[in-house]
Copies of this chain bind each other. A is one copy, B any other.
Amino acid sequence: MSTNNISTNSDTTATQPKSVSFLGLGAMGHHMAKHLVGQFETVMVWNRSFDKAEAHAKEFGTQAVNLQQAVTADVIFSCLPTSNVVDEVIEQALPHLSANSVWVDCTSGVPDQAKASQAKLKAIGCEFLDAPVSGQTSGADSGTLTVMIGGSAEALAYAKPAIECFAGLIVHVGDSGAGFAVKAVNNTLFAINAWAAAEGLSVLKAHGVNPSDALACINKASGQSFATLATFPDRIVNRAFPKTFTIDLMAKDCGIAIDLQTEKQVPAPVMAQVSSLVRAASNQHEPGSADFSEFAKFYEMMSGLDITDEK
């Protein structure tokens, strides 16, 4: 739970949040919310399926409350499927927010929607931070997530003691939307590194090299990436394809990255190509039904080669 905040400094602010709430107790939120317990006078949780909130209260000592009450907290966290869902919840919450509260949205969302939410909350004296996280459920469990923050430095300074509860690293990357932008680009880089590795391992297999042997070398050499270190050995070469982060969400994130590119007219031919290829791979599945790693099966269809070891 130590914090290595590279861009905001002092924590000795005059006022400190006394109450916090967490909206959305999914695979990530469930763990993130538990780290808040004992750090604040009041820790409330809410979830659309309310039994999840009650179970969380029972297990961790949080208070399961309705949405109207939850959003009265000094710092409100949300961790929901998409920016559109966040928008809906904010609309319902607006009449009930406390003055000067800070909403910290940990959803992997859309930069333009962060700007819109910030404008909405600002208008009533509150603040919105886009604060997507990276680190998977294991990082949420251990409270060591990487948090990429977009929004005002003051809002971040106020909410930081709460964010630190589940963060290993907090980086203030820019104004509203910047956090979501960094997350989308990060995921697109992941997709590119993974797609490229699928190509490279297949070319090598065509020349008689087992993927595991190639990975052993690459992972101790300059071609190494999170994709070769983790995704290929843990999900693809062993044919596990566990469903954790679905390919349609990856295609969505790559699409956000392309929108960021075209909006500012930055040429990005590799991001653009891979974004299209991931979309094509995603089109082979119903939304929510396949892990991102199944992109490799799509590529195997293209190449006619399996990315597995020969016995």
Q: Chain A interface (Cβ within 8 Å of chain B)? A: 6-7, 111, 134-135, 146, 148, 168-169, 171-175, 177-178, 181-183, 185-190, 192-193, 195-197, 199-204, 206-210, 212-214, 216-218, 220-228, 251, 255, 257-262, 264-277, 279-280, 283-284, 301-305
Contacts and interface: CB of A to CB of B under 8 A. Distances in A.
Contact of A225 (B188, B226, B283): B226
Contacts of A189: 193, 196-197, 200, 218, 223, 225, 228
Contact of A265 (B171, B255, B268, B272): B255
Copies of this protein in the complex: 4
29 contacts: A6-B212, A7-B213, A134-B217, A171-B213, A174-B207, A174-B210, A178-B207, A178-B209, A181-B209, A186-B222, A188-B223, A193-B196, A196-B270, A199-B266, A203-B268, A204-B260, A206-B260, A207-B260, A224-B225, A251-B265, A258-B258, A267-B276, A267-B280, A267-B303, A269-B269, A270-B270, A270-B277, A272-B275, A283-B303
Contacts of A225: 189, 193, 224-227
A221 B186 CA distance: 7
A200 to B, nearest CB: 4
Contact of A283 (B201, B222, B228, B304): B304
A184 to B, nearest CB: 9
Nearest to A200: B185
Given A172-B213, A267-B302, A269-B269, 9 more contacts: A146-B221, A183-B217, A188-B200, A196-B270, A199-B271, A203-B266, A225-B226, A266-B305, A272-B272
